[in-house]
A and B are shown apart, each in its own frame.
Chain A
């Protein structure tokens, strides 16, 4: 093996094809997009360099500001929800349901494999108020609260988005965390129990610290996926009403492809990249402290 890695020709032969593909499909478009962020134009007219004009526009664009705020709000709420619910489900599988958890696990995991658009249509109908009242409004009417138009107001639409996306994804995070939990050696748990630890203390002092690495991976997964939210919101209400539930990704897509403004669209893409990078670095840094020192 050492012989192969010592041979420069072998390195070039093995790495070059992969490197070329990576350059072609990842690096070149990314660099191209970075350049576009400082340009204005479209493929017909061509592009002209406009310096910091797009960046200036970004800071004075209330829609971009709102989209960034919405993206962060969504990412925090969804990530906390995914991890808390996922962890609670994983604990349920391991400690309460034990061997019988397969059926429940399958059931909770099921929405993960359903296409996002189908889930969005389902929720659209469930929360509908017109032309037919959906089950949610019917239920609210039944208990005397009265139905509401869930999609006419940004805050209510946000609630629907959160419920939908948590329902859709919690099964995945539960399985991820479940895989971490079953790795905890039974002997440690047993000895803690013999020492008189109750369920809460067991979770707090044994399960939580020992599942920290997988929990951290979950946090990164969850934050990065939720910062890049797109399809579920497009299919549910297309970021409406108005721009009230439009995340950065959707605003970028609309700007570049619906309004034909590729330059400013790329500037928005740059913002998304920076946000994801910052969050990932932040999580990594805090994790390094946690894992190496006790």
Chain B
């Protein structure tokens, strides 16, 4: 050191030291691109959102019972991250080749041409399920939704399958002599009647804006047909076209029938309003059944019913948040787990949580709650399914739609401004 200091001109030593330190730090920060472990996964690591309390419980149950063999091959571990931070976490892990075996990705990252797909970290599940001989365990409805959503590919394990529609309070409907509406006009008339008679017709959460913007999707499908949003994706129409703006305008007109002070209402309070019998209707997906079937939350018992959005054939459907499988970690152990999930998840999810998945129910489940059984029948008989409003949107468009849904509903933002904002987000990403 001494020798170096003596021989090196003092002025030169400072920038050299700076450069050395910087390069060391940068080298330390950047992950190797091809350092996935040879031979694939050493454990069946699963990453889901903190809000998702069901998946962990289901895995705990399966690893002790039906999937104990897979568990012996590859022990299961769970990690959780709040949904708001999931995208950045998955990006960082993906950049360092450190993604777990099954992870909750963002739709745009795991879709074809998505970054994780391009970097070879997303397993083609259609091919894998076929190889494992369990593709027939995936329900046709779930497969169709996945292929609609991911442009023909199959990058997510359908741990959930939900249809969306309107949950309503049967008692309130009966007390006010209201029949289940079959057109948007009837729905509006029912809302007007309820409002006039002192009941809150609709509840939604401004803080969780998609609970409002899904209404817009429903109106669009009802007014413009089942391909209304696919046309936007395919650039055959724009959200700023008059008929699309008119649909947003229609939602704004419905605004007066929603609960007062909606802007800052949160998701849990919204659910509680429905489950305490304080509101007549709520647009929601069937994951809400977990709360309906929980007597601690549901104070109105069997009085919750469900009907599809008037004017739409079939239902908006989804397969829950994405659960991609890391292609770089795939081995026989992962295969065993996937086989076990495909064969058992459907019945277990229905039995333990009262919710639906994209897998067939192999063991018949007795004594289902009435509403769950009713919705099961609706799913089985649904002619086709459509995606929800933001289904094909980019993350920014998704966020803007959610953040501005309440202002649209309350009239703080015009229908045209709302649609222009979302369209400009979609154009910017193109």
Residues in chain A within 8 A of chain B (CB atoms)? 8-9, 20, 23-24, 28, 31-32, 42-45, 124, 128-131, 149-154, 237-244, 254, 256-261
Give B10's nearest chain A residue, CB to CB.
A8
Give A12's nearest chain B residue, CB to CB.
B5
In the complex, B262 has a CB within 8 A of chain A: yes
B269 proximity list for chain A (CB < 8 A):
131
Closest approach, in angstroms, between the C-beta of B330 and any C-beta of chain A?
18
A152 proximity list for chain B (CB < 8 A):
206, 261-263, 406-407, 410, 412
Closest approach, in angstroms, between the C-beta of A91 and any C-beta of chain B?
37
Closest approach, in angstroms, between the C-beta of B105 and any C-beta of chain A?
10
The reply to whether B92 and A43 form a contact with Cβ atoms under 8 Å apart is: yes
Closest approach, in angstroms, between the C-beta of A257 and any C-beta of chain B?
4
- Rank and list the top 9 A-B pairs by shortest CB-CB distance, nearest first: A130-B261, A43-B95, A129-B261, A151-B264, A44-B115, A44-B94, A242-B404, A241-B407, A152-B263
In the complex, B112 has a CB within 8 A of chain A: no
B413 proximity list for chain A (CB < 8 A):
241-242
CA distance A149 to B264 in the complex (A): 9
A interface footprint on B89-112 (CB within 8 Å = 1, 0 otherwise): 001101110000000001001000
User: Contact check: which of B95, B396, B404 meets A44 at CB < 8 Å?
Assistant: B95
A241 proximity list for chain B (CB < 8 A):
206, 263, 403-404, 406-407, 410, 412-413
Give B404's nearest chain A residue, CB to CB.
A242
CA distance A44 to B21 in the complex (A): 25
**Interface residue total, chain B, C-beta cutoff 8 A:** 46
The reply to whether B115 and A240 form a contact with Cβ atoms under 8 Å apart is: no
Provide a sorted-by-A list of 16 A–B residue pairs whose CB atoms are within 8 angstroms: A23-B18, A31-B22, A44-B95, A44-B109, A128-B264, A131-B272, A149-B260, A151-B263, A151-B264, A152-B407, A152-B410, A154-B412, A241-B263, A241-B407, A241-B413, A243-B403
A interface footprint on B56-92 (CB within 8 Å = 1, 0 otherwise): 0000000000000000000000000000110110011
Residues in chain B within 8 A of chain A (CB atoms)? 5, 18, 21-22, 25-26, 84-85, 87-88, 91-92, 94-96, 106, 109, 115-116, 118-119, 121, 206-207, 259-265, 269, 272-273, 278, 394-396, 399, 403-404, 406-407, 410, 412-413
A259 proximity list for chain B (CB < 8 A):
394-396, 399
CA distance A237 to B407 in the complex (A): 13
CA distance A240 to B263 in the complex (A): 8
A24 proximity list for chain B (CB < 8 A):
21, 25
B109 proximity list for chain A (CB < 8 A):
44, 260
A153 proximity list for chain B (CB < 8 A):
412
A42 with B115, Cβ < 8 A, contacts A242-B412, A259-B395 known: yes
Give B88's nearest chain A residue, CB to CB.
A257
CA distance A28 to B19 in the complex (A): 11
The reply to whether A28 and B22 form a contact with Cβ atoms under 8 Å apart is: yes
A261 proximity list for chain B (CB < 8 A):
396
Closest approach, in angstroms, between the C-beta of B386 and any C-beta of chain A?
26
Closest approach, in angstroms, between the C-beta of A32 and any C-beta of chain B?
8
With contacts A154-B412, A242-B403 known, what are 14 further pairs, Cβ within 8 A? Answer: A24-B21, A42-B115, A43-B96, A131-B278, A149-B264, A150-B264, A151-B206, A152-B261, A152-B410, A238-B207, A243-B404, A244-B407, A258-B88, A260-B395
The reply to whether B91 and A44 form a contact with Cβ atoms under 8 Å apart is: yes
The reply to whether B412 and A130 form a contact with Cβ atoms under 8 Å apart is: no
CA distance A242 to B412 in the complex (A): 9
CA distance A259 to B396 in the complex (A): 5
Give A243's nearest chain B residue, CB to CB.
B403
CA distance A42 to B25 in the complex (A): 19
The reply to whether A130 and B88 form a contact with Cβ atoms under 8 Å apart is: no
Give A255's nearest chain B residue, CB to CB.
B396
B263 proximity list for chain A (CB < 8 A):
149, 151-152, 237, 240-241
The reply to whether B273 and A254 form a contact with Cβ atoms under 8 Å apart is: no
B18 proximity list for chain A (CB < 8 A):
23
The reply to whether B399 and A45 form a contact with Cβ atoms under 8 Å apart is: no
The reply to whether A131 and B22 form a contact with Cβ atoms under 8 Å apart is: no
CA distance A256 to B260 in the complex (A): 33
CA distance A20 to B106 in the complex (A): 37
The reply to whether A260 and B88 form a contact with Cβ atoms under 8 Å apart is: yes
User: Contact check: which of A8, A43, A45, A237 meets B118 at CB < 8 Å?
Assistant: A45
Give B425's nearest chain A residue, CB to CB.
A259
Closest approach, in angstroms, between the C-beta of B97 and any C-beta of chain A?
10
